[in-house]
Structure 1
Protein backbone atom coordinates (compact mmCIF):
# COMPACT_ATOMS: atom_id res chain seq x y z
CA UNK A 1 0.00 0.00 0.00
CA UNK A 2 1.05 3.58 -0.57
CA UNK A 3 3.07 5.56 1.91
CA UNK A 4 0.29 7.80 3.25
CA UNK A 5 1.85 9.95 5.96
CA UNK A 6 -1.39 11.67 6.95
CA UNK A 7 -4.93 12.10 5.73
CA UNK A 8 -6.76 15.38 6.38
CA UNK A 9 -10.41 16.35 6.12
CA UNK A 10 -10.52 19.98 5.01
CA UNK A 11 -13.38 21.35 2.95
CA UNK A 12 -10.97 23.95 1.51
CA UNK A 13 -8.72 21.11 0.27
CA UNK A 14 -5.34 22.74 -0.58
CA UNK A 15 -4.54 26.17 0.86
CA UNK A 16 -1.50 27.70 2.54
CA UNK A 17 -1.89 25.84 5.83
CA UNK A 18 -2.05 22.49 4.04
CA UNK A 19 0.54 23.27 1.37
CA UNK A 20 3.21 24.62 3.69
CA UNK A 21 2.61 24.05 7.40
CA UNK A 22 1.30 20.48 7.30
CA UNK A 23 3.52 19.35 4.40
CA UNK A 24 6.63 20.54 6.24
CA UNK A 25 5.48 19.01 9.53
CA UNK A 26 4.90 15.53 8.12
CA UNK A 27 7.62 15.57 5.45
CA UNK A 28 5.34 14.91 2.47
CA UNK A 29 6.49 15.40 -1.12
CA UNK A 30 3.08 14.75 -2.73
CA UNK A 31 -0.35 16.14 -1.93
CA UNK A 32 -3.09 13.91 -3.28
CA UNK A 33 -6.58 15.40 -3.35
CA UNK A 34 -9.32 12.78 -3.58
CA UNK A 35 -12.39 14.71 -4.71
CA UNK A 36 -14.74 13.95 -7.58
CA UNK A 37 -15.50 17.60 -8.44
CA UNK A 38 -11.95 18.95 -8.27
CA UNK A 39 -10.59 16.00 -10.26
CA UNK A 40 -12.61 17.26 -13.22
CA UNK A 41 -11.93 21.00 -12.75
CA UNK A 42 -8.55 22.19 -14.03
CA UNK A 43 -9.21 25.79 -12.97
CA UNK A 44 -9.70 24.79 -9.31
CA UNK A 45 -6.59 22.61 -9.56
CA UNK A 46 -4.53 25.51 -10.91
CA UNK A 47 -5.74 27.81 -8.15
CA UNK A 48 -4.81 25.26 -5.47
CA UNK A 49 -1.43 24.60 -7.10
CA UNK A 50 -0.58 28.28 -6.62
CA UNK A 51 -0.39 27.68 -2.85
CA UNK A 52 2.00 24.73 -3.20
CA UNK A 53 5.80 25.12 -3.20
CA UNK A 54 7.44 23.95 -6.46
CA UNK A 55 9.19 21.04 -4.72
CA UNK A 56 5.86 19.45 -3.77
CA UNK A 57 3.87 17.50 -6.36
CA UNK A 58 0.08 17.51 -6.51
CA UNK A 59 -2.40 14.99 -7.90
CA UNK A 60 -6.15 15.39 -8.23
CA UNK A 61 -8.04 12.10 -8.45
CA UNK A 62 -11.66 11.09 -8.18
CA UNK A 63 -12.42 8.93 -5.17
CA UNK A 64 -12.55 5.83 -7.37
CA UNK A 65 -9.28 6.71 -9.12
CA UNK A 66 -7.68 7.07 -5.68
CA UNK A 67 -8.98 3.65 -4.62
CA UNK A 68 -7.83 2.08 -7.89
CA UNK A 69 -4.41 3.74 -8.16
CA UNK A 70 -2.97 4.68 -4.77
CA UNK A 71 -1.47 1.23 -4.37
CA UNK A 72 0.77 1.95 -7.38
CA UNK A 73 2.48 4.92 -5.73
CA UNK A 74 6.26 4.78 -5.83
CA UNK A 75 8.09 4.04 -2.58
CA UNK A 76 9.62 7.52 -2.59
CA UNK A 77 6.22 9.23 -2.80
CA UNK A 78 5.41 10.47 0.70
CA UNK A 79 1.71 11.20 0.45
CA UNK A 80 -0.43 13.75 2.23
CA UNK A 81 -3.99 12.71 1.33
CA UNK A 82 -6.61 15.47 1.50
CA UNK A 83 -10.38 15.00 1.28
CA UNK A 84 -13.29 17.42 1.59
CA UNK A 85 -15.68 15.39 3.77
CA UNK A 86 -15.80 12.47 6.18
CA UNK A 87 -18.06 10.71 3.68
CA UNK A 88 -15.26 10.77 1.09
CA UNK A 89 -12.89 9.38 3.70
CA UNK A 90 -15.31 6.54 4.47
CA UNK A 91 -15.57 5.70 0.75
CA UNK A 92 -11.77 5.45 0.58
CA UNK A 93 -11.52 3.25 3.67
CA UNK A 94 -14.37 0.99 2.54
CA UNK A 95 -12.69 0.86 -0.90
CA UNK A 96 -9.56 -0.63 0.63
CA UNK A 97 -7.30 2.41 1.08
CA UNK A 98 -5.25 1.85 4.22
CA UNK A 99 -5.94 4.88 6.42
CA UNK A 100 -5.42 4.54 10.14
CA UNK A 101 -5.16 8.15 11.28
CA UNK A 102 -6.91 11.30 10.15
CA UNK A 103 -6.53 14.97 10.91
CA UNK A 104 -9.94 16.63 11.00
CA UNK A 105 -8.93 20.16 10.07
CA UNK A 106 -11.79 22.20 8.74
CA UNK A 107 -15.47 21.55 8.18
CA UNK A 108 -17.33 24.82 7.60
CA UNK A 109 -20.56 25.70 9.35
CA UNK A 110 -23.67 25.68 7.17
CA UNK A 111 -27.38 25.46 7.82
CA UNK A 112 -28.24 22.26 9.66
CA UNK A 113 -24.76 21.86 11.14
CA UNK A 114 -23.69 22.33 14.72
CA UNK A 115 -20.31 23.85 15.55
CA UNK A 116 -18.46 21.43 17.86
CA UNK A 117 -15.15 23.32 17.85
CA UNK A 118 -14.12 26.59 16.19
CA UNK A 119 -13.16 25.00 12.84
CA UNK A 120 -15.46 21.97 12.74
CA UNK A 121 -19.22 21.85 12.29
CA UNK A 122 -21.15 18.61 11.83
CA UNK A 123 -24.62 17.33 11.04
CA UNK A 124 -26.16 13.93 11.76
CA UNK A 125 -24.73 12.45 8.55
CA UNK A 126 -21.22 13.55 9.57
CA UNK A 127 -21.64 12.12 13.08
CA UNK A 128 -22.86 8.80 11.67
CA UNK A 129 -19.88 8.71 9.29
CA UNK A 130 -17.38 9.47 12.06
CA UNK A 131 -18.88 6.66 14.14
CA UNK A 132 -18.46 4.21 11.23
CA UNK A 133 -14.85 5.31 10.75
CA UNK A 134 -14.21 4.86 14.46
CA UNK A 135 -15.67 1.34 14.28
CA UNK A 136 -13.27 0.64 11.38
CA UNK A 137 -10.34 1.61 13.62
CA UNK A 138 -9.57 5.03 12.14
CA UNK A 139 -8.14 7.46 14.71
CA UNK A 140 -9.49 10.98 14.16
CA UNK A 141 -7.68 13.97 15.63
CA UNK A 142 -9.12 17.49 15.41
CA UNK A 143 -6.35 20.08 14.86
CA UNK A 144 -6.00 23.14 12.66
CA UNK A 145 -2.19 23.23 12.78
CA UNK A 146 0.47 20.73 13.87
CA UNK A 147 1.53 22.51 17.07
CA UNK A 148 -2.04 22.68 18.37
CA UNK A 149 -3.09 20.05 20.88
CA UNK A 150 -5.42 17.62 19.15
CA UNK A 151 -8.77 16.35 20.35
CA UNK A 152 -10.38 13.04 19.51
CA UNK A 153 -13.45 13.78 17.38
CA UNK A 154 -15.34 11.01 19.19
CA UNK A 155 -15.06 13.04 22.42
CA UNK A 156 -16.67 16.04 20.73
CA UNK A 157 -19.67 14.52 18.95
Structure 2
Protein backbone atom coordinates (compact mmCIF):
# COMPACT_ATOMS: atom_id res chain seq x y z
CA UNK A 1 0.00 0.00 0.00
CA UNK A 2 1.29 3.39 -0.84
CA UNK A 3 0.27 5.79 1.90
CA UNK A 4 0.68 9.08 0.07
CA UNK A 5 -0.59 11.32 2.88
CA UNK A 6 -1.75 11.15 6.49
CA UNK A 7 -3.96 14.12 7.32
CA UNK A 8 -5.70 15.37 10.43
CA UNK A 9 -8.82 17.36 9.61
CA UNK A 10 -11.82 17.37 11.92
CA UNK A 11 -14.13 17.74 8.89
CA UNK A 12 -12.74 14.46 7.47
CA UNK A 13 -13.90 14.40 3.81
CA UNK A 14 -14.94 17.82 2.53
CA UNK A 15 -14.18 20.23 -0.32
CA UNK A 16 -10.47 20.76 0.39
CA UNK A 17 -9.77 17.05 0.73
CA UNK A 18 -11.88 16.08 -2.29
CA UNK A 19 -10.94 18.91 -4.63
CA UNK A 20 -7.36 19.72 -3.61
CA UNK A 21 -5.65 16.90 -1.70
CA UNK A 22 -7.07 13.91 -3.62
CA UNK A 23 -5.97 15.21 -7.07
CA UNK A 24 -2.66 16.53 -5.67
CA UNK A 25 -1.63 13.04 -4.56
CA UNK A 26 -3.62 11.02 -7.12
CA UNK A 27 -5.45 9.34 -4.23
CA UNK A 28 -7.35 6.15 -5.10
CA UNK A 29 -8.63 5.31 -1.60
CA UNK A 30 -9.53 7.52 1.34
CA UNK A 31 -9.12 5.73 4.65
CA UNK A 32 -10.89 7.38 7.58
CA UNK A 33 -9.48 6.16 10.90
CA UNK A 34 -11.80 6.87 13.83
CA UNK A 35 -13.40 4.59 16.41
CA UNK A 36 -16.62 6.62 16.76
CA UNK A 37 -17.15 7.12 13.02
CA UNK A 38 -16.47 3.43 12.30
CA UNK A 39 -19.34 2.53 14.64
CA UNK A 40 -21.77 5.13 13.24
CA UNK A 41 -23.63 4.04 10.08
CA UNK A 42 -25.13 7.52 9.53
CA UNK A 43 -21.75 9.24 9.59
CA UNK A 44 -20.30 6.58 7.28
CA UNK A 45 -23.17 7.20 4.83
CA UNK A 46 -22.40 10.94 4.83
CA UNK A 47 -18.72 10.22 4.19
CA UNK A 48 -19.59 7.89 1.28
CA UNK A 49 -21.66 10.71 -0.22
CA UNK A 50 -18.77 13.21 0.22
CA UNK A 51 -16.11 10.86 -1.16
CA UNK A 52 -14.96 11.87 -4.65
CA UNK A 53 -16.11 9.43 -7.34
CA UNK A 54 -12.55 8.47 -8.35
CA UNK A 55 -11.84 7.19 -4.81
CA UNK A 56 -12.87 4.21 -2.79
CA UNK A 57 -13.66 4.81 0.87
CA UNK A 58 -12.77 2.72 3.89
CA UNK A 59 -13.73 3.64 7.44
CA UNK A 60 -11.90 1.66 10.14
CA UNK A 61 -11.46 1.89 13.86
CA UNK A 62 -7.85 2.32 14.98
CA UNK A 63 -7.17 -1.34 15.74
CA UNK A 64 -8.58 -2.55 12.41
CA UNK A 65 -6.69 0.18 10.51
CA UNK A 66 -3.36 -0.71 12.15
CA UNK A 67 -3.92 -4.43 11.52
CA UNK A 68 -4.99 -4.07 7.88
CA UNK A 69 -2.26 -1.57 7.02
CA UNK A 70 0.38 -3.75 8.69
CA UNK A 71 -0.77 -6.66 6.48
CA UNK A 72 -0.37 -4.48 3.37
CA UNK A 73 -4.01 -4.64 2.29
CA UNK A 74 -4.64 -2.66 -0.92
CA UNK A 75 -0.99 -2.97 -1.93
CA UNK A 76 -0.20 -0.75 -4.87
CA UNK A 77 -3.11 1.63 -4.31
CA UNK A 78 -2.50 5.30 -3.47
CA UNK A 79 -4.10 5.80 -0.05
CA UNK A 80 -4.68 8.92 2.01
CA UNK A 81 -5.42 8.42 5.70
CA UNK A 82 -7.71 11.01 7.29
CA UNK A 83 -8.37 11.33 11.03
CA UNK A 84 -10.33 13.82 13.13
CA UNK A 85 -7.38 14.33 15.48
CA UNK A 86 -4.07 12.85 16.63
CA UNK A 87 -5.40 10.31 19.14
CA UNK A 88 -6.30 7.50 16.68
CA UNK A 89 -2.99 8.01 14.85
CA UNK A 90 -1.04 7.70 18.11
CA UNK A 91 -2.97 4.53 18.92
CA UNK A 92 -2.01 3.09 15.51
CA UNK A 93 1.65 3.80 16.37
CA UNK A 94 1.21 2.08 19.73
CA UNK A 95 -0.31 -0.93 17.93
CA UNK A 96 2.80 -1.18 15.75
CA UNK A 97 1.86 0.60 12.52
CA UNK A 98 4.40 3.34 11.79
CA UNK A 99 3.46 6.66 10.26
CA UNK A 100 6.50 8.72 9.20
CA UNK A 101 4.70 12.06 8.93
CA UNK A 102 1.33 13.68 9.57
CA UNK A 103 -0.08 16.83 8.01
CA UNK A 104 -2.34 18.77 10.35
CA UNK A 105 -5.17 20.72 8.79
CA UNK A 106 -8.30 22.14 10.38
CA UNK A 107 -8.94 21.31 14.03
CA UNK A 108 -11.78 23.59 15.09
CA UNK A 109 -11.66 25.79 18.14
CA UNK A 110 -13.62 24.20 20.97
CA UNK A 111 -13.91 24.88 24.70
CA UNK A 112 -10.68 23.89 26.45
CA UNK A 113 -8.50 24.06 23.34
CA UNK A 114 -5.36 26.05 22.66
CA UNK A 115 -4.12 27.23 19.26
CA UNK A 116 -1.34 25.03 17.87
CA UNK A 117 -1.28 26.66 14.43
CA UNK A 118 -3.55 28.79 12.29
CA UNK A 119 -6.91 26.92 12.16
CA UNK A 120 -5.60 24.13 14.44
CA UNK A 121 -6.66 23.95 18.09
CA UNK A 122 -6.00 21.08 20.48
CA UNK A 123 -7.12 20.15 23.97
CA UNK A 124 -4.80 18.65 26.60
CA UNK A 125 -5.39 15.05 25.50
CA UNK A 126 -4.72 15.95 21.86
CA UNK A 127 -1.57 17.89 22.78
CA UNK A 128 -0.34 14.84 24.69
CA UNK A 129 -1.11 12.66 21.64
CA UNK A 130 0.85 15.04 19.40
CA UNK A 131 3.77 14.78 21.82
CA UNK A 132 3.47 10.99 21.80
CA UNK A 133 3.64 11.02 18.00
CA UNK A 134 6.75 13.23 18.14
CA UNK A 135 8.26 10.79 20.65
CA UNK A 136 7.75 8.03 18.05
CA UNK A 137 9.71 10.14 15.56
CA UNK A 138 6.69 11.21 13.51
CA UNK A 139 7.08 14.52 11.67
CA UNK A 140 4.18 16.93 12.32
CA UNK A 141 3.44 19.85 10.02
CA UNK A 142 0.52 22.22 9.57
CA UNK A 143 -0.61 22.72 5.98
CA UNK A 144 -4.20 23.72 5.09
CA UNK A 145 -3.93 23.15 1.32
CA UNK A 146 -1.36 21.44 -0.93
CA UNK A 147 -0.11 24.81 -2.19
CA UNK A 148 0.22 26.34 1.31
CA UNK A 149 3.56 26.58 3.07
CA UNK A 150 4.22 23.64 5.45
CA UNK A 151 4.80 24.77 9.03
CA UNK A 152 6.76 22.39 11.29
CA UNK A 153 4.82 21.89 14.53
CA UNK A 154 7.56 20.23 16.61
CA UNK A 155 8.57 23.32 18.58
CA UNK A 156 5.00 24.55 19.13
CA UNK A 157 3.74 21.17 20.37
CA UNK A 158 6.76 20.62 22.62
CA UNK A 159 6.44 24.11 24.14
CA UNK A 160 2.70 23.68 24.73
CA UNK A 161 3.23 20.32 26.45
CA UNK A 162 5.91 21.82 28.69
CA UNK A 163 3.38 24.46 29.74
CA UNK A 164 1.02 21.80 31.13
Q: Shared topology, TM-score over 0.5?
A: yes
SS at match of 1:156: helix
For 1:94 and 1:25, how far apart are their aligned partners in 2? 29
Kindly state the Cα deviation for residue 90 of structure 1 after the two structures are TM-superposed: 0.3
Please state if 1:18 is matched with 2:17: yes
SS at match of 1:108: coil
Match of 2:161? none
For 2:37 and 2:132, how far apart are their aligned partners in 1? 25
Q: Would you say the 8 A contact 2:139–2:154 is kept in 1?
A: no
Q: Alignment length, in residue pairs?
A: 156
SS at match of 2:105: strand
For 1:93 and 1:146, how far apart are their aligned partners in 2? 25
Task: Write out per-residue CA displacement over residues 31-59 of structure 1, whole angstroms, 9 at most, x where no aligned residue.
Answer: 00011111122221221222222111000
SS at match of 2:50: coil
For 1:4 and 1:82, how far apart are their aligned partners in 2? 11
Please state if 1:138 is matched with 2:138: yes
Gaps of 5+ in 2: 158-164
For 1:10 and 1:53, how far apart are their aligned partners in 2? 16
Normalising to structure 2: TM-score of the pair?
A: 0.88
Q: Would you say the 8 A contact 2:142–2:153 is kept in 1?
A: yes
For 1:117 and 1:109, how far apart are their aligned partners in 2? 11
For 1:78 and 1:37, how far apart are their aligned partners in 2? 25
Match of 2:30? 31
Task: Write out per-residue CA displacement over residues 111-150 of structure 1, whole angstroms, 9 at most, x where no aligned residue.
Answer: 1111233310122322222122112110011011010001
After superposition, the CA RMSD in angstroms is 1.4
Q: Any residues of structure 2 matched to 1:83-98 within 5 Å, and which?
A: 83-98=83-98
